[in-house]
Amino acid sequence: MAGRETIAHLRQQPSDSEARILGIVLRNAGATQPEIVQASTLSQQSVSRLVSDLVGRNALILGSRRGNGRRGQPSVEIGINPQYAYSLGIALMTDAMSIVLMDFAGNVIGHEHFTLPVMSRKAVFACILEARDRFLESIPSARDRLVGAGIGILGPCLDGKSRFNPPRALDEFAMVPIDELFAEQLDLPCWAESDGNAAAVGECFLGAGRTFANFVYIYVAAGLGGGIIVNHRLLRGSHGNSGEIGRMLPWRNFHIPTLETLLHALRKAGVELDGISTMLDRFDPDWPGIDEWIASSRDQFSLITSAIAALVDPDAIVFGGRLPQALAAKLIPAIELFDDARRETPRPLPRIVASQTNYDACAIGAAMLPLEQTHYSTML
């Protein structure tokens, strides 16, 4: 009976105010009612009623009391119920794919990575179904609580929804409605975003978004992309292509700093690697060729980040994607934000930070898409 009730609750879409509360609790990894009131601009009475309803539907859970240093009763800690719902996240790359199972609290509870010589539909869907079955075998309760699957894919969106123009390695997924294609294979509702937008959504809820309400995400992988978060919401643009950061550097005029060009630099320096996935698995920040790649890329990244700072004025610029943390730690100090430094007080500039999410950023963000669409609305 309890299982059927939970499934019925999953089908009940939260109101805008409920979604706002769920998002606040998730981003803060727990909150009290006074903190929700302050963050949401809802009244104390509304928050109390909505939290009670969400607790009754098992979406939120009540924890221990937390003192605030003032007189009166300590406030009760409110958290996300991880077992309320689950989602799948799928990241399609030029030479590999990652699949994650995520619970309602944003925890990755299943993760598999496949390196594929050919990114064909047959091979991709075989891996997805294989991973999904293993996930559900280990966590049977997730079977009836899967709200959907999210897909992150390289390339610009063509129709503002789910048709993309990816690199040649993903020819079998080009120019077709990705959401419909995957929904037919998985028998689940599906949502698709560019890899950069998907990763930005994941970062918004589970990474830098817990500190910064406004940030631009730079997605470094085989290509260069990104996403823009404004007031904790993804800015998609008119055609779903906001954040296509790589387009800021015309390839005829600039060396584009990507993991593909890093791979070439390492091979040229004598490091034997057969692809990006192998490079990331074995990554060593002291390899010969690393410093040379940073030196040849710093001006391009400085131009990109300076343009972002001037145009968007975010709190932060987040470097992520498939960029190894050890490489980000060496790259970020080399980047310069251009400023005229007029008078004694220069204009405020964004912080440049590394992504705070783990595993594969695109797969994590893709897994957040179904949860975001059904319970944690962030779209602009």
314-359 pLDDT tens trace: 999 999 999 999 999 999 999 999 987 777 777 899 999 999 987 6
CATH number of domain containing 55: 1.10.10.10
Within this chain, do residues 179 and 258 fall inside the same structural domain, yes or no?
A: no
CATH number of domain containing 346: 3.30.420.40
Among 22, 48, 82, the domain boundary falls at 82
Q: What's the CA gap between 296 and 281, in Å, rounded?
A: 23
Within this chain, do residues 190 and 157 fall inside the same structural domain, yes or no?
A: yes
379 domain-assigned: no
Q: What's the CA gap between 220 and 321, in Å, rounded?
A: 5
What is the extent of the structural domain holding 64? 2-82
137 domain-assigned: yes
- Cα–Cα separations (whole angstroms), residue 333 to 31, 114, 174, 186, 261: 34, 33, 37, 43, 20
| Residue ranges in the chain modelled with pLDDT below 50 | 1-6, 379-380
Within this chain, do residues 41 and 91 fall inside the same structural domain, yes or no?
A: no
Within this chain, do residues 190 and 215 fall inside the same structural domain, yes or no?
A: no
Within this chain, do residues 58 and 158 fall inside the same structural domain, yes or no?
A: no
Closest to 196 (Cα-Cα) out of 222, 174, 178, 230: 222
Q: What's the CA gap between 159 and 156, in Å, rounded?
A: 9
Tokens representing 71 are 């007189």
Among 82, 101, 129, the domain boundary falls at 82
pLDDT for 367: 96
Within this chain, do residues 70 and 129 fall inside the same structural domain, yes or no?
A: no
pLDDT for 69: 56
Within this chain, do residues 267 and 342 fall inside the same structural domain, yes or no?
A: yes
Among 35, 63, 82, the domain boundary falls at 82
380 domain-assigned: no
206 domain-assigned: no
35 domain-assigned: yes
Phi, psi of 253 (to 5 degrees): -110, -15
Q: What's the CA gap between 218 and 258, in Å, rounded?
A: 11
Residues 25 and 60 sit within 8 Å (Cβ to Cβ) = yes
Within this chain, do residues 219 and 347 fall inside the same structural domain, yes or no?
A: yes
Within this chain, do residues 64 and 186 fall inside the same structural domain, yes or no?
A: no
Phi, psi of 29 (to 5 degrees): 50, 40
List the Cα angle 148/156/361 in 5-degree steps: 50
pLDDT for 12: 73
**Overall number of domains in the chain:** 3
Within this chain, do residues 196 and 287 fall inside the same structural domain, yes or no?
A: no
Within this chain, do residues 45 and 116 fall inside the same structural domain, yes or no?
A: no
Within this chain, do residues 9 and 63 fall inside the same structural domain, yes or no?
A: yes
Closest to 94 (Cα-Cα) out of 362, 344, 370: 362
pLDDT for 300: 95
